[in-house]
Amino acid sequence: MSARPAQETERAPEPAGLEREHDPGAFLDAYARMVLIREFEQAIHRLFLKGEVHGTTHLSAGQEAVPVGVCMALDADDYVSGTYRGHGHALAKGTAPEALAAEMLGRASGVCGGRAGSMNVVDLEHGLVGCFGIVGGSIAAATGAALSARRQGRVSVAFFGDGATNQAYFHECLNFARVLELPVVYVCENNFYGEFTPMENVTAGGEIAARAGAYKIPFTVVDGNDLWAVRDAATEAVERARSEGGPTLLECQTYRHYGHSKSDPAKYRPDDELERWLARDPLTIARERLLADGIGEDEVTAVETEGREEMERATQAALAAPYPDPRERPGSEFSG
């Protein structure tokens, strides 16, 4: 059995009486952020092929609706932790594309001074606790941040992949968060593959969201390629967390357009599966919805053009930036 689009999967009904306002202008801004993430990933892909990005990269093209939809429900000072596929998480939370591109290129103007690279970005100014190369690390970080968030009236969000749900981090942290009723939202970006392995082949029971039920944590399965669906589910979960209702698990079913990393050509994916998901590109879905909701074609085209131009400016500025001085030790003032 191969991965199927989330539209073929039953979704939990929205609670009776819960109404969501869908301001087309707000969703146009969100679409612009999705376009920027897509342009960023494509730019990093090109730079990697030119040898400008060292190490590896894990691109999130195809998954843009999840971080953007979730962050629409958050306040600026709420916490987020991301994965090694975290460029979209950072940009959705507000990290500047130029600073993030410079970080990918190892430049001094990067958000972490060019020393974090692609997988370990931190941007505390925008509430990004960190992106984590350890599978499931984001779950633990967000759970810890939720202890602080509870005292400050904030919310903490963990983004993680389907593979992380088979790690001890997942079960230990959900148990801990439920016992203490922490204000945390667990967002599983289920793209149906843990590296090269189909999720269903290594996940007992074949379901992810339902696992939260064992801990009496509310959960729902969301079409992760539908910006509106993600935003609505995230809004409900964030409201619950902020009103001392405890944690929620969202399983956002989506699909990465590239392989797991730059060393993965993704030949293991059936052609018909890939075609089905590409036909449900989250940017295409969002664009069509905006037009149907009365946003003009010229307005939509304008934000697409601006996204490309902004990324071009960010790339050129990052390439022109100097490398960090190896004699400097950022953070040394905090060491003993």
Residue 257 · residue 62 · CB < 8 Å: yes
Q: Is residue 1 part of a domain?
A: no
pLDDT of residue 262: 76
* Helix segments in the chain, DSSP class H: 24-49, 65-72, 87-93, 97-104, 137-152, 168-180, 199-202, 227-242, 271-278, 282-292, 297-320
pLDDT tens string 26-57:
999 999 999 999 999 999 999 998 999 988 88
Q: Is residue 189 part of a domain?
A: yes
DSSP string computed for 175-215: HHHHHHT--EEEEEEE-SEETTEEHHHHSTTS-SGGGGGGG
Q: Is residue 88 part of a domain?
A: yes
Q: How many domains does the chain have?
A: 1
Decide: helix, strand or coil at residue 222: strand
d(CA 196, CA 159): 20
pLDDT of residue 20: 61
Strands 128-132 and 156-161 come out as: unpaired
Lay out the sheet containing 219-223: strands in order across.
Answer: 128-132, 79-83, 156-161, 184-190, 248-253, 219-223
pLDDT of residue 250: 98
Residue 211 lies in domain: 24-321
pLDDT of residue 22: 85
Return the closest-CA partner of residue 234 out of 178, 120, 155, 314.
Answer: 155
φ, ψ of residue 128 to 5 degrees: the values are: -85, 100
**Residue segments in the chain with a per-residue pLDDT below the cut of 70:** 1-20, 330-336
CATH of the domain at 243: 3.40.50.970
pLDDT of residue 17: 37
Q: Is residue 236 part of a domain?
A: yes
The DSSP element (H or E) to which 125 belongs, if any, is none
Q: Is residue 190 part of a domain?
A: yes
Q: Is residue 19 part of a domain?
A: no
Q: Is residue 13 part of a domain?
A: no
Return the closest-CA partner of residue 156 out of 250, 66, 241, 65.
Answer: 241
* Predicted TM-score of the model (pTM): 0.91
Q: Is residue 225 part of a domain?
A: yes
